Structure 1
């Protein structure tokens, strides 16, 4: 899609929609819970508008026109559930919800409703373009750009086509939402839990807009995601994000996209039935079960574990590689045990291996974190894993020890750099595990 050619009409967003004193986007969270109080089924748009007007301060068109997804089914306008709705129903309001909601705004895909004008299906190209063209520097966000003055300057520069008397009001409103959602402190997100939920949300919106389909391969969907500036929109490192995204997309396809709501207590009135697709045999529940689920005020069987599991699986490889390379580079490949950087070729290139002091796999379940990683030469990596060499915590002044005949380094002070933030508690665990400390 050519976002630069879309006309920007901020409409109700430029009004003083008054989010009140609630922290973050708490009022939006409250409004979603009120609108979907009967579970994951679509709600008539007019009904949703009345509910939001009673629930939250300000213009109810802001959440309806900029954050939630609209759909016309048999001539009637509805608000339909997606990942943003699921997360609002499944857990209390928190910072992750705020950041996900801002992603929904920046994705600028809200469907259509009766009498909606064509441009309203993509209501915030101004917010999207500001992030992609100004805040994104190619591999992370430059949050110094997110000020009301800089937003207004971007809108006034001629780069934007917008209909408003002045861009000042919606510039200050947009800055306020960034501030409320704690995005002003965000530079890189690929290790954030909400990031994979945002990808689920993006895929939901694109599936509802028919920009992608479940018949596409994960690789083809990944290519589409990249073409739509997803890394820029979510502050994800483009060198690492594709590894995480591919696994999340595969999980999304395995769950059947929007069909996953049918297995979370949703009634038959879910978005799938209006996509022109027939639900797979066996996915619909009995009428009695659906009716009982629809009565729930706060669904108790909703879980985010499938999304978070996909995120964890995807990130394991990314984090391992990123953390390992960072630690080895920090110490210039010098082994924690002997202090030597192994030279491996005539050019002087050095080599080391990064090892978790407390193993991350079962049954030990050590943290996959920088503070649990040290660089080793290959020999001492193997010896450390077998307990042949170890590190005495020595009351916070750790020293290297040998349990073999290799005594050339025995008693050597462990060299730790402050920026590493290594946790001595893990070498203490290692020493106890191999019986070197009682």
Structure 2
């Protein structure tokens, strides 16, 4: 991992960035991403991204310096297509997108671009620390206590914050936290947005590691996630979430990491792991859902071409319609009925009566 010695300089975040009314959430960011990537899920030159956004009269420095990830290839600065971009291009704006986008900001991995300063690689560590060190630890995730005044006191009393002003940063961050639905973060159950954030965290961590010249293996992913602060930023860990992380790391690795977003890379990986197989290319190109049968709350949206790879990782795959109307209870009921039907067709019957089973379970 990179040097964690922190100096907090808020940069352009202290300016007005005009995200619109609070009721709109982060819909402006959603529109900026779609316009900047021109609806295409591939890395885009930073200058081309900015050129496209300039035509919409929307702000660009906040999205590209705080929410998205940058890298330099052959002397050209690129903005990466990762999980946040996948979410923006795959669905209309929603509260789920707001949560994922807020996490991207708080996670504060922005990468490198030509002319970037050292501190811009982790540009919002003051916000990251406010959530991890104050909201999670001191406030015990009582998000109703979050306010601009509370944020201002936190940064002003921390020697890592080196800026002349703090009020504008505090009001901007307070607005962003409300718009991104920070109140939804402290959940004990696995949520779909939490699953998407895990993939986003791995996308950013691994790209950041590449910038430092490191190639990490799947065996290292869990440790990287833990050290990155992902658990603390998303409401903390419990047994259900810890087990889910293991399954999701297996899925992420099976899909090839960020390569899952490239049809060509997915095709090559499918051939490598499943010789003779070809990625699914149905008429409906919408993303599918990868569900883990041990806990159907572990639902990850994936490109349709990744279907075979997800099944190889032990996940069931559901259709776009099932994703949109997904019900854990209905999914369990349907799968149970299907399993019982298979047993009946094979003539498999229980050898123990209900009374005998109850005697065994009660220890008689």
TM-score (norm 1): 0.61
User: Within 5 A, what are the aligned runs for 1:167-316?
Assistant: 167-188=166-187, 190-210=189-209, 213=215, 215-217=217-219, 220-263=220-263, 301-303=285-287, 305-306=289-290, 309=291, 312-313=292-293, 315-316=295-296
Give the match for residue 77 of structure 1: 77
Is 1:362 equivalent to 2:335 in the alignment?
Answer: yes
Per the TM alignment, residue 317 of structure 1 is displaced from its structure 2 partner at its CA by: 9.0
Whether the aligned pair in 1 keeps the contact of 2:8 and 2:161 (CA below 8 Å) is yes
Looking at structure 2, the residues matched to 106 and 230 of structure 1 have their Cα atoms a distance apart, in angstroms, of: 10
Structure 1 gap segments, 5+ residues each = 269-278, 284-298, 319-355, 366-380, 387-438
User: Within 5 A, what are the aligned runs for 1:20-419?
Assistant: 20-21=20-21, 23-55=24-56, 57=58, 59-137=59-137, 141-158=141-158, 160-188=159-187, 190-210=189-209, 213=215, 215-217=217-219, 220-263=220-263, 301-303=285-287, 305-306=289-290, 309=291, 312-313=292-293, 315-316=295-296, 360=333, 362-364=335-337, 382=354
Q: Give 3-state SS (helix, strand or coil) of 1:5's partner.
A: coil
Q: Which has the larger radius of gyration?
A: 1
* Greater share of residues in helix: 2
Give the match for residue 309 of structure 2: none
Q: Please, which moves more after superposition, 45-54 or 103-112? A: 45-54
Q: Give 3-state SS (helix, strand or coil) of 1:165's partner.
A: coil
Per the TM alignment, residue 111 of structure 1 is displaced from its structure 2 partner at its CA by: 0.7
Looking at structure 1, the residues matched to 57 and 126 of structure 2 have their Cα atoms a distance apart, in angstroms, of: 25
Closer, same or farther: CA 228–89 of 1 in aligned 2, 3 Å: same
Whether the aligned pair in 2 keeps the contact of 1:143 and 1:186 (CA below 8 Å) is no
Q: Give 3-state SS (helix, strand or coil) of 1:240's partner.
A: helix
Per the TM alignment, residue 37 of structure 1 is displaced from its structure 2 partner at its CA by: 1.7
Whether the aligned pair in 2 keeps the contact of 1:87 and 1:97 (CA below 8 Å) is yes
Whether the aligned pair in 2 keeps the contact of 1:140 and 1:232 (CA below 8 Å) is no
Is 1:18 equivalent to 2:2 in the alignment?
Answer: no
C-alpha root-mean-square deviation of aligned residues, in Å?
3.4
Give the match for residue 374 of structure 1: none
Closer, same or farther: CA 267–71 of 1 in aligned 2, 3 Å: farther
Per the TM alignment, residue 213 of structure 1 is displaced from its structure 2 partner at its CA by: 4.3
Q: Give 3-state SS (helix, strand or coil) of 1:71's partner.
A: strand
Give the match for residue 368 of structure 1: none
TM-score (norm 2): 0.73
Closer, same or farther: CA 280–362 of 1 in aligned 2, 3 Å: closer
Per the TM alignment, residue 214 of structure 1 is displaced from its structure 2 partner at its CA by: 5.3
Q: How many residues were matched structurally?
A: 300
Closer, same or farther: CA 178–281 of 1 in aligned 2, 3 Å: closer
Looking at structure 2, the residues matched to 109 and 70 of structure 1 have their Cα atoms a distance apart, in angstroms, of: 9
Looking at structure 2, the residues matched to 139 and 147 of structure 1 have their Cα atoms a distance apart, in angstroms, of: 12
Looking at structure 2, the residues matched to 2 and 133 of structure 1 have their Cα atoms a distance apart, in angstroms, of: 20
Give the match for residue 436 of structure 1: none
Per the TM alignment, residue 141 of structure 1 is displaced from its structure 2 partner at its CA by: 2.0
Closer, same or farther: CA 69–167 of 1 in aligned 2, 3 Å: same
Give the match for residue 334 of structure 1: none
Whether the aligned pair in 1 keeps the contact of 2:83 and 2:203 (CA below 8 Å) is yes
Looking at structure 2, the residues matched to 85 and 12 of structure 1 have their Cα atoms a distance apart, in angstroms, of: 22
Whether the aligned pair in 2 keeps the contact of 1:135 and 1:141 (CA below 8 Å) is yes
Q: Give 3-state SS (helix, strand or coil) of 1:206's partner.
A: helix
Looking at structure 1, the residues matched to 133 and 115 of structure 2 have their Cα atoms a distance apart, in angstroms, of: 32
Q: Give 3-state SS (helix, strand or coil) of 1:205's partner.
A: helix
Whether the aligned pair in 1 keeps the contact of 2:218 and 2:249 (CA below 8 Å) is no
Looking at structure 1, the residues matched to 54 and 150 of structure 2 have their Cα atoms a distance apart, in angstroms, of: 32
